[in-house]
A and B are shown apart, each in its own frame.
Chain A
């Protein structure tokens, strides 16, 4: 087996297809769900595939297309098969209906995606009633299982995915009563916000924290705290959807001893999406909080090209320069440098705060490598840094730091 791709979502399937296209044989995609396709399987709205397939598709259609392309390129897709860890000798340990298995591929591409932090991880106090879920669960309940939700629902978060949750709730028969965000405004597109306000008459409560959930056996009431004034008020509802607040599904990376990035909490990767462990690449949303599916697919394609080169020449850098950042930046990806262009010729950067016309500086050992302005940075959405400065990096030098020199809020 030359390549094992862990995860059959957009990044993994696109990587498998690209490997086939590049002439790599023996590519195996391992998917733990019963069907390949990943998150788009249950994201029924339109708008998938613009960047990689150059046409708009619904989530399920996009998932099917990615699957067809990967199979068509010669990759083997094995579903209901989960990589549960690494053996002491470094092999991948698998469990599937066919049994327990050890695999020793020349290349592993981790493409296990990310998930939303659930209520418990956000330490929201109160009782533990039914009716509290993430967008992921909500979409599966409504779209994969065809179930009704009903009642009143509160959406926690105001990012793209939060508006997607709003649509899913109304599709499932629920009445959205509001959206909350701890930030001073929403983080999605103005059109989504206006649409939500007009179509569903959903208020957006900014600078608001969900400070308690009450009810038993189902949610009855949610307490909201005004982060500026400190006052609280309660809203009655039967469903609470915790959206966004993504974390990479990084268990295999941690178990495999891969260096993690402190910002993304995913494996630290260089421009070629190489992790710290020779032969192991990572792609898509296991690298960082969620990007859209087509961006993940392009990341998979990029990792596949790097993997194909590695299979051909066996070259693996023995040193890399790490990229760090300072607050209010949240993360930068890729976050290591070892030569070559990053995916789509750019580095992604995220901020914890809204920044208008931020001037970004990149330096190494006190030496300025680049400075430039971005139009704006919105929490939960990636800004784009060009890669022209990487040629000036001293490969023997200290870490590179990315920071905001000035900005308007």
Chain B
């Protein structure tokens, strides 16, 4: 490391993108710091999204987003299988409900081909209803996108951050950037949480606050307008109603309301798309929930007869630009990774690789980190793979994997204990939920809420 710097690269923002960048950079012999303003990594926009692993078939060809999502899809898919992030290749069906939508299907196919995705194909109405017998009446046609998938939005940033941490990354949670200053001769002074870091490079991955950090350094590249997305998660008993991701024909503003299975075995309906003012307003709204129910009733009527397990709200970091806003100011040592909207999860690893390339071009020397590579295996919280409560051998070796604490989600005492003892332990109930699924189910704590609170406080 060069003289006078606390770190080579400081990443501001521990969402899925910031965590992916931290992971990527710690593969090299670098001193990396990751700061997250919230109580945990992956606890903002990254935890409340549609959790799709996108092929990028529908991205705007030629954009950076298209390039990175297509590449990120492959990278994340492989990484997920390697470290145990729950992922399921359900495939997607893009359903046309009006003549106008039906007429736009050929152009979507063309767009997909332009993005290099060939397996997309048209389905007859008969085949559509054969595949999805519970689909509402009136569908006129559909496209099949066989490689679209669903992935765990919780485990993904946690895996990136854990791997980075184990490779020596300094990770600070609950530390918000309050000031940035250029250093003479390059580099940035970062003020955050009452401390200061002198970093050779700053990576701004602050998501909703990326424009604010940009302005702290005197740039005005874009303005983030939070785009609220409300999601309704239905009871696991509704899972047999749908086998694919059911996509809508996109408009200029939104990809529309979709219905998708989740890796936890639920069915998700959403999101809404509403530009709002406040960057912390993750409240659900009566009009948003009404709209989703109306849309849901049309797409999959039986779903609306099912119990609702949870309502989530995520704020996408939309800007006035249609593409990602990624730029480097090499002399100052500043990289901005802004405007990463709904596709950030799918694109995360390719975005990280892209940022690494920019840093390398700007003169950051990259030599592989000495020592053995980090061997990471994340706890499986997905339904498609054997979970501890159903694993005879694990229970035999440790009876705590047979002690179910959260009945709805079948989370065992052993898993909760492991999460609390992990390199990146939860700091609150929400963090425990994202690591284990505890308290995520249909009772929302009726049975286990008090018990979990006690465990978190170390009393049981």
Contacts and interface: CB of A to CB of B under 8 A. Distances in A.
Contact of B389 (A95, A115, A134, A216): A95
Contact of B308 (A116, A120, A137): A120
A32 B407 contact: yes
Interface in B413-448: 429, 442-447
Contacts of B396: 99
A136 interface: yes
Interface string B286-321: 101100000000000000000111110100000000
B382 interface: no
A115 B410 contact: no
B219 to A, nearest CB: 31
A97 B396 CA distance: 8
B404 A115 contact: no
Nearest to A143: B450
Given A97-B395, A100-B392, A120 B310 contact: yes
A184 interface: no
B307 A247 contact: yes
Interface stretch (B131-139, B242-250, B277-285, B359-367): B277-285
Contact of B447 (A117, A120, A127, A136): A136
A17 interface: no
A266 interface: no
B376 interface: no
Contacts of A123: 232, 289, 308, 311
B443 A95 contact: no
A81 B450 CA distance: 19
A84 B410 contact: yes
B134 to A, nearest CB: 16
A282 B401 CA distance: 29
B310 A99 contact: no
B1 interface: no
Interface residues of A, number: 41
A21 interface: no
B276 interface: no
Most buried by B among A32, A33, A121, A134: A121
A80 B396 CA distance: 15
A93 to B, nearest CB: 8
A137 B403 contact: no
Contacts of A100: 390-392, 395, 402
B217 interface: no
B22 to A, nearest CB: 26
B183 interface: no
B311 A254 contact: no
Given A125-B286, A140-B450, A118 B392 contact: no
A128 interface: yes
A120 B454 CA distance: 23
Instruction: Name the prevailing secondary structure of the A interface residues.
Output: mixed
A48 B232 CA distance: 38
B181 interface: no
Contacts of B451: 140
Contacts of B286: 125, 211-212
Interface in A227-260: 247, 251, 254
Most buried by A among B390, B400, B403, B444: B444
A69 interface: no
B237 interface: yes
B368 interface: no
Contacts, number: 113
B313 to A, nearest CB: 8
B399 interface: yes
A134 B445 contact: yes
B446 A144 contact: no
A341 interface: no
A128 B403 CA distance: 29
B406 to A, nearest CB: 10
A144 B448 CA distance: 12
Interface residues on B, range: 35 or more
Given A99-B396, A120-B309, A145-B454, A251 B237 contact: yes
B168 interface: no
Contacts of A80: 402-404
A287 to B, nearest CB: 17
A113 to B, nearest CB: 10
Interface string B212-238: 000000000000000000001000110
Given A98-B399, A99-B402, A120-B444, A125 B283 contact: yes
Contact of A116 (B313, B403, B446): B446
Given A84-B410, A120-B311, A97 B446 contact: no
A84 B395 CA distance: 15
A137 B446 contact: yes
A141 interface: yes
B374 interface: no
A214 interface: yes
A292 B445 CA distance: 22
B308 to A, nearest CB: 5
B453 interface: yes
B283 A118 contact: no
B392 A99 contact: yes
Nearest to B286: A125
A93 B284 CA distance: 38
Interface of A: 32-33, 80, 82, 84, 93, 95-100, 115-121, 123, 125-128, 130, 133-134, 136-137, 140-141, 144-145, 147, 211-212, 214, 216, 247, 251, 254
Given A123-B289, A125-B284, 16 more contacts: A33-B447, A80-B404, A95-B389, A95-B395, A95-B410, A96-B403, A98-B395, A98-B399, A99-B392, A118-B446, A125-B288, A127-B282, A137-B446, A140-B450, A145-B453, A147-B450
16 contacts: A84-B390, A84-B404, A96-B402, A100-B390, A115-B443, A118-B444, A118-B445, A118-B446, A119-B444, A120-B311, A121-B308, A125-B311, A136-B446, A137-B450, A145-B453, A254-B237
- Closest 10 interchain pairs by CB? A118-B444, A140-B450, A97-B399, A136-B446, A137-B449, A100-B392, A125-B284, A97-B402, A115-B446, A141-B450
